[in-house]
A and B are shown apart, each in its own frame.
Chain A
């Protein structure tokens, strides 16, 4: 796990420094003289050799110090801590949306195999995957905030302050972010349910006279869910990436927005910090997926 984090952080560091653009110029503006820019670069430690900059970052990161934002001077850990709640909430709600919509739809499609429902859900899934986030986001805003006037279009309210406002503002972003994953979950559920339905034990259960619904829900589902969980686990990275665009459209102050602003202003420590946190998040989700396997499938055991 540590090796992965090192590789990821080194890659993001290198990529950011390969991209043209100078954060000192961004901070001082285009009117700055070359001397002013050089002075600021020295002040910010940007004139040191790249490997020195990277290793100094790693040494501090190990101790939990992610440095200070070039743009605002705020400690990165503070900046991330202040904004991680909305992103986590957004990701969880998008995931829930994907599961709540995707799994039942997938089961139905498999149960009514080859029917209109099956074909319809397949088509819907394809549209869901192909649809660009930002297009869907703006469309939802138009429909629900202007035409129907039932949801506020943007912003974030802390759930501790006002839970209702918080949830109202999270509905559209969650759907926007979750649609792609919902489509994937639908397809995966459908195909793995179909596969399990073909197994011998299902035939046995049917011949014993067990009701179809019981077969589906009690016997088939737990087996079929394993590949679905795999697919969901692997998509967490995708969710985090999608959160950047979603937060941008709906003006949610999460770490996705932080990452975007950091990249545009070449705020290297902020980019490093956010990438690291996101990598940790993705790795943790893989771990949780492994744990989930043991719960769903008692045959799976780890030494």
Chain B
């Protein structure tokens, strides 16, 4: 009697266990736990968003800090630390801040903290964010969770700036505690999903989950190790060998191998960057617009994309890539491949027999290949190119300090959210990346107008006007826009590739 009783209940218990087990087992939700290795391309310049100018820093910064606003996969502005915002009038914006957010050091996030951060970024002597926040006159903390920005003039780009490093909120207590010259370079204290656990210089940066993070249930991962891997083939090998979980780029020639490997996942999205050739308009013959246009016509951009990027990009007709929203105009004419017209323009400019020029490129295999391709195209119209692969820091020194520096190849805009910023710094006559000395008053005026315009349809129209001028003047050659390519291990879930290239890990989990 007892045995049968036990057997029946044992069976019931067993069935119950199975039912419960399968219910939780089949719940295919995100799992908490695990530490992943992410390969990035260089050691960070700084972990202080106020000082950071290197694009590679953003992989770390976006995981350590939150921004006031954020962008989603469609490049639209969405709330983050600011739950909502109101453009009260053209020169006043009010932000309503999220409640219950704390910094990694336990101090509370509030309006005073926002005021502290913005004022720091606006006024600190070594702040790299001053130009992005130029339009702000004063910052007011209306109450504990409302901040008002009073602008000197309308600046629609400001909202995008607040979704990038200018909007990253650092703990005021931490800033005051680390007031030495190194400041927060290696001591980040933000509100982000991860906090800094440790560093082994030039080897890896260790982040761990911030248990007090405000987004419920996030992040899933226990921790992350960011490892700078300088050799691109080594990145792919590391991923395939199981040593790395995510890599921040896949060289075009490795894409097929990565796609074919069923243990890996491959992601490709339109990037925001443009690869360009920059002319120095102070040096003959590049002071002559016809010469610059001729060199533009002589290039077969489609061929370059096919042969050198293996198809992972689009030929550029203007400076802005397709993913840049209202800044992009698919119907811009650009320069089609027309060597005949190129020769005619050169003759008209007074160089029927061509000329000799120097082309500086960064000493990387991709840049050298582009330089060689241009060498080939231009030799067909009589222009002889002396190609000079140069180390990157040396080249930067040349751009900054040598007024007669030669033509060079550079990339631009990759990872920038705010098209206004790219427009100003490259094409405005006082732009700080305008090393070639380009000046067009009409362009300057249009740029000033754009900054004051909030209406997107109007911005779209103005961007078209300014790009038509800039493409026609051709102070540079827009070559192509590359795609952004990532690869992850097969068991990495929840990874969302973003056009601005920064790797964001809060929603990532391991199967």
- Return the contact of B391 from the options A25, A155, A264 (Cβ within 8 A): A264
With A28-B51, A73-B181 given, name 9 new contacts (CB 8 A).
Answer: A25-B400, A29-B52, A31-B128, A43-B181, A72-B185, A138-B231, A153-B234, A156-B203, A257-B202
- Return the contact of B53 from the options A29, A83, A149 (Cβ within 8 A): A29
Q: Cβ of B303: which chain A residues have Cβ within 8 Å of it? A: none
Contact B125 A39 (CB under 8 A): yes
Contact A30 B396 (CB under 8 A): yes
Contact A29 B43 (CB under 8 A): no
Interface residues of B in 201-238 (CB under 8 A from A): 201-203, 227-231, 233-234, 237-238
Contact B398 A251 (CB under 8 A): no
Beta-carbon nearest neighbor of B126 in chain A: A36
Alpha-carbon distance A7/B201, docked complex (angstroms): 30
Alpha-carbon distance A22/B402, docked complex (angstroms): 13
Contact A25 B396 (CB under 8 A): yes
Contact A22 B397 (CB under 8 A): yes
Q: Cβ of A250: which chain B residues have Cβ within 8 Å of it? A: 234
Q: Cβ of B230: which chain A residues have Cβ within 8 Å of it? A: 248, 251
Q: Cβ of B432: which chain A residues have Cβ within 8 Å of it? A: 30-31, 33
B368 CB within 8 Å of chain A: no
A121 CB within 8 Å of chain B: no
**A-B contact list, 26 entries, CB within 8 Å:** A20-B393, A21-B397, A22-B397, A28-B126, A29-B54, A29-B128, A31-B128, A36-B126, A39-B125, A72-B185, A72-B201, A73-B185, A138-B237, A142-B237, A149-B241, A152-B243, A153-B243, A154-B238, A154-B243, A248-B230, A251-B227, A251-B229, A251-B230, A253-B202, A257-B202, A266-B393
Q: Cβ of A36: which chain B residues have Cβ within 8 Å of it? A: 125-126
Contact A253 B203 (CB under 8 A): yes
Q: Cβ of A89: which chain B residues have Cβ within 8 Å of it? A: none
Q: Cβ of B179: which chain A residues have Cβ within 8 Å of it? A: none
Closest A-B pairs by Cβ, 10 of them? A29-B53, A253-B203, A21-B393, A145-B241, A73-B182, A20-B397, A21-B397, A153-B241, A141-B237, A153-B237
Q: Cβ of A6: which chain B residues have Cβ within 8 Å of it? A: none
Alpha-carbon distance A156/B425, docked complex (angstroms): 42
Alpha-carbon distance A75/B201, docked complex (angstroms): 13
Contact B237 A145 (CB under 8 A): yes
Alpha-carbon distance A56/B52, docked complex (angstroms): 31
Beta-carbon nearest neighbor of A37 in chain B: B400
Interface residues of B (CB under 8 A from A): 43, 45, 51-54, 125-126, 128, 131, 181-182, 185-186, 200-203, 227-231, 233-234, 237-238, 240-241, 243, 391-394, 396-398, 400-401, 425, 432-433
Beta-carbon nearest neighbor of A39 in chain B: B125
Alpha-carbon distance A134/B393, docked complex (angstroms): 23
Q: Cβ of A146: which chain B residues have Cβ within 8 Å of it? A: 237, 240-241
Q: Cβ of B393: which chain A residues have Cβ within 8 Å of it? A: 20-21, 26, 264-266
**A63-82: contact bitstring with B at CB < 8 Å (1 yes, 0 no)?**
00000000011100001001
**A174-215: contact bitstring with B at CB < 8 Å (1 yes, 0 no)?**
000000000000000000000000000000000000000000
Interface residues of A in 217-250 (CB under 8 A from B): 248-250
Contact A141 B234 (CB under 8 A): yes
Most buried by A among B52, B126, B186: B126
Beta-carbon nearest neighbor of A26 in chain B: B393
Beta-carbon nearest neighbor of B181 in chain A: A43
Q: Cβ of B238: which chain A residues have Cβ within 8 Å of it? A: 153-154
Q: Cβ of B181: which chain A residues have Cβ within 8 Å of it? A: 43, 73
Interface residues of A in 116-173 (CB under 8 A from B): 134, 138, 141-142, 145-146, 149, 152-156
Known pairs A72-B185, A248-B230; A32 contacts B397 (CB<8 A): no
Contact A27 B237 (CB under 8 A): no
Alpha-carbon distance A32/B52, docked complex (angstroms): 11
Alpha-carbon distance A142/B234, docked complex (angstroms): 9
Q: Cβ of B237: which chain A residues have Cβ within 8 Å of it? A: 138, 141-142, 145-146, 153-154
A290 CB within 8 Å of chain B: no
Contact A21 B396 (CB under 8 A): yes
**A250-283: contact bitstring with B at CB < 8 Å (1 yes, 0 no)?**
1101000110010011100000000000000000
Beta-carbon nearest neighbor of B127 in chain A: A36
**A1-43: contact bitstring with B at CB < 8 Å (1 yes, 0 no)?**
0000000000000000001111001111111110010011001
* A162 CB to nearest chain B CB (Å): 15
* B364 CB to nearest chain A CB (Å): 13
- Return the contact of B397 from the options A25, A33, A74, A141 (Cβ within 8 A): A25
Most buried by B among A74, A146, A149, A265: A146
Contact A28 B128 (CB under 8 A): yes
Beta-carbon nearest neighbor of B435 in chain A: A30
* B204 CB to nearest chain A CB (Å): 8
* A265 CB to nearest chain B CB (Å): 7
Q: Cβ of B186: which chain A residues have Cβ within 8 Å of it? A: 72
Beta-carbon nearest neighbor of B244 in chain A: A154
Contact B233 A138 (CB under 8 A): yes
Contact B241 A253 (CB under 8 A): no
Alpha-carbon distance A261/B44, docked complex (angstroms): 12
Alpha-carbon distance A156/B234, docked complex (angstroms): 14
Beta-carbon nearest neighbor of A32 in chain B: B128
Q: Cβ of A20: which chain B residues have Cβ within 8 Å of it? A: 393-394, 397-398, 401
Q: Cβ of B243: which chain A residues have Cβ within 8 Å of it? A: 145, 152-155
* B347 CB to nearest chain A CB (Å): 37
Beta-carbon nearest neighbor of A138 in chain B: B233
Contact A152 B202 (CB under 8 A): no
Alpha-carbon distance A137/B200, docked complex (angstroms): 24
* B43 CB to nearest chain A CB (Å): 7
* A155 CB to nearest chain B CB (Å): 7
Contact B400 A30 (CB under 8 A): yes
Most buried by A among B202, B230, B396: B202
Q: Cβ of A25: which chain B residues have Cβ within 8 Å of it? A: 396-397, 400
Contact B397 A253 (CB under 8 A): no
Contact A253 B182 (CB under 8 A): no
Q: Cβ of B227: which chain A residues have Cβ within 8 Å of it? A: 155, 251
Alpha-carbon distance A152/B242, docked complex (angstroms): 8
- Return the contact of B45 from the options A29, A141, A154, A156 (Cβ within 8 A): A29
* A263 CB to nearest chain B CB (Å): 9
Alpha-carbon distance A82/B199, docked complex (angstroms): 12
Q: Cβ of B229: which chain A residues have Cβ within 8 Å of it? A: 154, 251
Beta-carbon nearest neighbor of B432 in chain A: A31
Interface residues of A in 32-61 (CB under 8 A from B): 32-33, 36, 39-40, 43
Q: Cβ of B401: which chain A residues have Cβ within 8 Å of it? A: 20
- Return the contact of A152 from the options B43, B241, B391 (Cβ within 8 A): B241
* A225 CB to nearest chain B CB (Å): 37
Beta-carbon nearest neighbor of A142 in chain B: B237
Alpha-carbon distance A25/B228, docked complex (angstroms): 22
Alpha-carbon distance A21/B401, docked complex (angstroms): 10
Q: Cβ of B398: which chain A residues have Cβ within 8 Å of it? A: 20
Q: Cβ of A145: which chain B residues have Cβ within 8 Å of it? A: 237, 240-241, 243
Contact A21 B394 (CB under 8 A): yes
Contact A138 B396 (CB under 8 A): no
Contact A258 B202 (CB under 8 A): yes
* B396 CB to nearest chain A CB (Å): 7
Alpha-carbon distance A26/B43, docked complex (angstroms): 13
